[in-house]
Amino acid sequence: MTRHTYIALFLPLVAIGLGQLLTGAENPHLRYGKDEAQWMRWRMGQLCTEEGVYFTGSGNCVNCHAPDADGEALVDEHGATVSPVADWQATLMANSARDPFWQAKVDHEGLVNPTHRESIENLCTACHAPQGYHEAHLTGTAGPNGYTMEDLMEDDLGLDGIGCTACHSIDNENLAGRSNGDLPINEENVSWGGFENPWDGLMSGQTGFIPVYGEHMRNSEVCASCHSLYTHTQDLQGEETGQVFFEQTTYLEWVNSAFNAENVQCQSCHMPLVEGGAIAATQPNWLFPQRFGKHHLVGGNAFMLKLMRDNAVQLNLSATPVQFDSTIARTEASLQQQTANLQVRQLATSPGEWAFEVEVENLAGHKFPSGYPARLSFVEFVLTGAEDDTLFHSGSWSPANGIAGRDAGLEPHWDEITSPDQVQIYEMVLGDVEGATTQVLERAAILLKDNRLPPRGFSSQHPAYDTVQVGPMAALDADFNRRNGSEGSGADRLVYRVSTGDQSSMVHATARLHYQAVPKRWVDAMFGFSDQSERIAAFESMYEAADRTPVLVAEARSTGWPGFDPDAIDWKMAPNPISSGQLLRLVPAGVEMPRVIELFDLSGRLIRTVDLSDALLGHSVEDFAAGNYLVRLVFESRSQTIRWVKS
């Protein structure tokens, strides 16, 4: 089909598409008016406009892919913007080269291993400043030890981060097998995209880059080489041991998951499609809606996004506070709506003891947490009495002390928690050649702990398992990633068993799952070098000023009853016999609650009906004469009668 017949065939669709846009409901939060769109386009003018041989600055895409002042192109059916420039600009990937944590950490690694500082920098820039790195290597301008931080600081294309052309120039060449930022870059300035037959009447003329359909853009493989990272272990003297350590394996974790088989790609979650498509460019004005993947690209790192927003001037970032806020809101929504399910339920309880089971189920397409080894998630569990008094608390957090009860060295993975100084932390802990915990990436030699929650369908029999294995302690836990003996639940169950003396009334159990992207303990060792690096000192002061409160991912509550037995069918009554001054209390069994509770005397005369919560908490029978009575519980399809005695 020639281009002209193609356009002619689809012209009627343009009208239908616009009709839908005009009648769509409003979404005020993300909808830009004419003035805001113009202001944003102006701000976007600050993006890099450098033109390289193989890459071009993201500022050169603004003309046609920034928010449309007329509100017609690059909007969804509600009129909210889906401009890739607007969405991408305040993400971590867009800011990966100016990220102050990253810059500080590169200096830290170089200070620990000064003899090969430059080759370390050449590794770090491959993924965090790919346009600068590949441009320098492909054009032969990189120095003998590669593309360094000094090169980057002078290079706008590198500082553009993971710019538009960093992703859109990736060729489809053995993508699944790549790692460490080893990207196959297209040498003819092709800009691959996700929809068939893009119209190239303007784009290549203005930018030198030709829009072309590439099926690989729709698949996880295009993310693989930057989201698979291994290092060459160094000993404490800085000598390579010849060993390889798998530091980040997000892509491989996804390969070993049910999402892979179900065709749920990275893009399905991180670049959700616009329903009904969107017009891909603001020029020319006769385009029709196409498949459109929103460039949300958020994970869990709300902490660094806030830190960047609050230091945007110092860091020379181009995104506006409004853009940061919407990326932060998306990140928090991804953590709170798409990350984990949490449940808490009471187990059989013997006198003087409470037992609750907490289940955490990972919903993400890879481990939770995944990615950078600093990330962690922890469970907070609180038991409160009838008067709201705290009976037990594991996993509380404070700005000064972090996670309460966390061991100074390594907090074990727990299957059962019985004391407040035990806390469940899902994390990866790196060990150096001597087996000590380390936060120096290049020293990672062994996995001391990795109980991050595997994705659903994760299997220890998978060919990629050796790169994504579960750490030593969690591997022995029979209900970690296993349900009824079979593997792949993507969940962990743990029990909280608490003695509380003779707590005789109902209790409340609350479980909370928290997430921390950059915990203090992980960066402290680096801050020890702040007198030797301005970048470390700069990040330290931003970090100290930031709000480090963990993000609440999920919360679940349950009530607990003394003497509860989930497997029993018969309810009981306590105390029985009951004497003056005591309250009549029903002890539930099973999960079904009675609809009606009635008190009778032995002759069968109804004395009163009692409310369920009253009966569970304790009902006064002070006005009853001594003698024998009955209580009748009426359930949906059965009833139960208990005889009781007032003495």
The number of angstroms, rounded, from the C-alpha of 250 to the middle of its chain's C-alpha atoms is 12
Min dist. Cβ of residue 185 to ligand HEC (A): 10
> Which of residues 213 and 635 has its CB atom nearest to ligand HEC in the complex?
213
> Which of residues 56 and 424 has its CB atom nearest to ligand HEC in the complex?
56
List, in order, residues 6 or more apart from 405 with CB less than 8 Å away.
394, 395, 420, 421, 422, 423
> Which of residues 121 and 565 has its CB atom nearest to ligand HEC in the complex?
121
Neighbours of 215 (CB within 10 A): 10
> Which of residues 267 and 394 has its CB atom nearest to ligand HEC in the complex?
267
Let me know how long the chain is.
647
Min dist. Cβ of residue 19 to ligand HEC (A): 18
Give dist(CA 458, CA 172) in Å, integer: 27
Min dist. Cβ of residue 231 to ligand HEC (A): 7
Among 476, 564, 509, residue whose Cα is nearest residue 359: 509
Give dist(CA 204, CA 206) in Å, integer: 5
Burial 167-196 (b: 16+ CB within 10 A, else e): bbbbbeeebeebbbbebebbeebbbbbbbe
Give dist(CA 108, CA 355) in Å, integer: 45
The number of angstroms, rounded, from the C-alpha of 271 to the middle of its chain's C-alpha atoms is 15
| Terminal CA-CA length for the chain | 95
> Which of residues 79 and 194 has its CB atom nearest to ligand HEC in the complex?
194
Min dist. Cβ of residue 21 to ligand HEC (A): 15
Give dist(CA 590, CA 564) in Å, integer: 9
Min dist. Cβ of residue 557 to ligand HEC (A): 23
Min dist. Cβ of residue 460 to ligand HEC (A): 20
Min dist. Cβ of residue 285 to ligand HEC (A): 10
φ, ψ at 536 (rounded to 5°) = -70, -45
The number of angstroms, rounded, from the C-alpha of 405 to the middle of its chain's C-alpha atoms is 24
Neighbours of 26 (CB within 10 A): 9
The type of residue at 26 is E
Neighbours of 43 (CB within 10 A): 18
> Which of residues 539 and 561 has its CB atom nearest to ligand HEC in the complex?
539
Q: Please, are residues 90 and 319 in contact by the beta-carbon 8 Å criterion?
A: yes
Min dist. Cβ of residue 608 to ligand HEC (A): 52
> Which of residues 157 and 344 has its CB atom nearest to ligand HEC in the complex?
157
> Which of residues 198 and 588 has its CB atom nearest to ligand HEC in the complex?
198
> Which of residues 259 and 397 has its CB atom nearest to ligand HEC in the complex?
259
Min dist. Cβ of residue 402 to ligand HEC (A): 17
Give dist(CA 74, CA 81) in Å, integer: 6
> Which of residues 94 and 586 has its CB atom nearest to ligand HEC in the complex?
94
Long-range contacts of 469-477 (CB under 8 A, 24+ apart): 471/413, 471/428, 471/429, 471/447, 472/447, 472/448, 473/412, 473/413, 473/449, 474/413, 474/449, 474/450, 477/413, 477/415, 477/451
Q: Please, are residues 245 and 218 in contact by the beta-carbon 8 Å criterion?
A: no
> Which of residues 176 and 391 has its CB atom nearest to ligand HEC in the complex?
176
Give dist(CA 293, CA 278) in Å, integer: 9
Q: Please, are residues 400 and 421 in contact by the beta-carbon 8 Å criterion?
A: no
Min dist. Cβ of residue 380 to ligand HEC (A): 18
Min dist. Cβ of residue 64 to ligand HEC (A): 3
Six token digits for residue 312: 């945007």
Give dist(CA 372, CA 229) in Å, integer: 10
List, in order, residues 6 or more apart from 627 with CB less than 8 Å away.
601, 602, 645, 646
Min dist. Cβ of residue 213 to ligand HEC (A): 4
> Which of residues 211 and 550 has its CB atom nearest to ligand HEC in the complex?
211
Min dist. Cβ of residue 237 to ligand HEC (A): 18
> Which of residues 216 and 508 has its CB atom nearest to ligand HEC in the complex?
216
The type of residue at 353 is E
